[in-house]
Structure 1
Amino acid sequence: MTHTDLALVLAWRNHPEIRRYMYTQHEITPAEHQGWFERCLPDPRKHLLIFEVNQQPLGFVSFSEAKVGGIADWGFYVAPDAPRGSGQQLGHAALCHAFTELKLHKINGEALAYNQRSIQFHKKLGFQEEAVLRDQHFDGSQYNHIICFGLLCNEWQSKP
């Protein structure tokens, strides 16, 4: 991801169908978005990626190596107008990059319990459900459970 991608990624992130599944559900301002990007840029543990097919941007992926030993959290979203099947393509490409290029050992993911699409997405990619954090996220009106997932490199490598 570069500065030239900021407006597009912000538009995706602020789309109602993306925003409703985020921990931060307010509409992100351009200044807020720019600040986030500027904080991530110098951090070698943050990897911000644009997923493209035939040079057309279709999604965003981030890996944050918050822990030692090649363990990272990931986040992602597909452009609201991306063709059907783009999410699976994004997932496979991102995980290949994480395990082969970044040499990560484990990827952690989270989904709000009402986000069944994300839960199924993680399971289809081979993630194991590792925990349920009950009433972990307050969205301003109610508490929500968070489902935690993990995928180890050797589990990914053994996928057909």
Structure 2
Amino acid sequence: MLEFNGDKLRPMKASDLSMVLEWRNHEAVRKNMYTDHVISEEEHLSWFQRTSSDNTIKHFIFESQGKPIGFVSFSQIDEANKRAHWAFYSGDLSTKGLGSRMEFLALTYAFDELRLNKLCCEVLGFNQPVVKFHQKFGFEIEGSLKQHHIKDGAAHDVILLAFYKDKWPHVKKTHLEKVKNV
């Protein structure tokens, strides 16, 4: 379990399934995901069973002050090449600043716990606010996959982003200084 300033990442449990399914099926979350249909309980349970037994995938619940409010996932964890992919979404779409807090803990886990060299993510091209959000944290655009994903009958680009461990000490220090000054 990873904790900072009242926030924590804890491993997802089977008892979290209905809560995570509710978050995942929220229209505001679905519209920015590859899989955007309403996910059934059966499909969700199958996903959890399949991914829970895969040691290259880690699912976490983000909690603040003991209240679960988000989901963070690492996939394609490659220990030999020291890289992984990650994604997250909030179950609380009304509270400002949750994304930054989730991203900080995700980076802490990636670089302080997993000891990665590179953390990757993918964002649908029309979701420029999230691309810019990741860039504010230090993610770099590595490229794009043109017309890579069909959504609502239209082909969309996928933006490939990465964060490298050499940036982590500066980003970590900057974030810690911001928290001290709040």
- TM over 0.5: same fold? yes
Name the aligned partner's letter for residue 130 of structure 1. Answer: E
Select which of 81, 92, 105 maps to 1:93. Answer: 105
Provide Cα deviations, 1:81-135, integer angstroms capped at 9, x if missing partner. Answer: 4511111000001110111112222110111111122112211111000001110
Which residue of the partner structure matches residue 35 of structure 2? 24
Match of 2:17, SS state, is helix
Q: Does the 8 Å CA contact 1:58/1:82 hold for their aligned counterparts?
A: no
Structure 2 equivalent of residue 136 of structure 1: 148
The equivalent of 1:59 in structure 2 is 70
Q: Match of 2:107, as an amino acid? A: L
Q: TM-score, normalised by structure 1?
A: 0.95
Once residues 81 and 146 of structure 1 are traced to their aligned partners in structure 2, the CA distance between those partners, rounded to angstroms, is 23
User: 1:9 offset after TM fit, Å?
Assistant: 0.6
Aligned residue number for residue 45 of structure 1: 56
Unmatched tracts of structure 1, length 5 or more = none
Where does residue 70 of structure 1 map in the other structure?
82
* CA–CA distance in structure 2, aligned partners of residues 26 and 101 of structure 1: 34
Match of 2:124 in 1: 112
Helix, strand or coil: the match of 1:149?
strand
Is 1:153–2:165 an aligned residue pair? yes
Residue 140 (structure 1) shift: 4.6
Q: Paired residue for 1:15?
A: 26
Task: Give the number of equivalent residue pairs.
Answer: 160
| Per-residue Cα deviation, 1:20-54 (whole angstroms, up to 9, x for no partner) | 00001100111111111101111111110111110
Q: Hey, what's the Cα distance between the residues in 1 that align with 2:56 and 2:94?
A: 28
* Preserved contact between residue 45 and residue 64 of structure 1 (Cα < 8 Å): yes
Which structure's CA Rg is the greater one? 2
For 1:79 and 1:87, the matched residues in 2 are separated by: 11
Q: Please tell me the residue identity of whatever aligns with 1:111.
A: V
What SS does the corresponding residue of 2:166 show, helix, strand or coil? Answer: helix
Q: Which amino acid aligns with 1:16?
A: E
- Name the aligned partner's letter for residue 153 of structure 1: K
1:125 match: 137
CA distance in 1, matches of 2:110, 2:77: 14
Describe the SS at the equivalent of 1:158. Answer: helix
